[in-house]
Amino acid sequence: MRSDMTLKTTDSKGRITLGSDFANLPVNIVQNGRGEWVVQLVEAIPISETWLLKNKEALNLVTEGIVQAKNLQFANDPTAAKDYSWLEEVED
């Protein structure tokens, strides 16, 4: 994205184009009350998934789990060292 300032003029319907850098990207436009408009690139999050962002404890646990997975830190296998030899006697 370019950071230089560019003077734009609205068309007869009050529209401006942002240029190809913004093509097909979702944006949020905020008017700040000082005659300025802030255009922010955004990502849409399904409402059914926003609970995680609102629940700091759950978000921290998920983040911690991702870090552990990246570091190959996994829980021990709960079935390890168990005697399952009796399963051989069970009929299919």
Which tens digits make up the pLDDT trace of 27-83? Answer: 999 998 888 889 899 998 999 999 999 999 999 999 999 999 999 999 998 888 888
- Global pTM value: 0.45
Cα gap 58→40, rounded to integer Å: 27
State the Cα–Cα distance between residues 80 and 65, nearest whole angstrom: 22
Q: How far is CA 86 from the centre of its chain?
A: 47
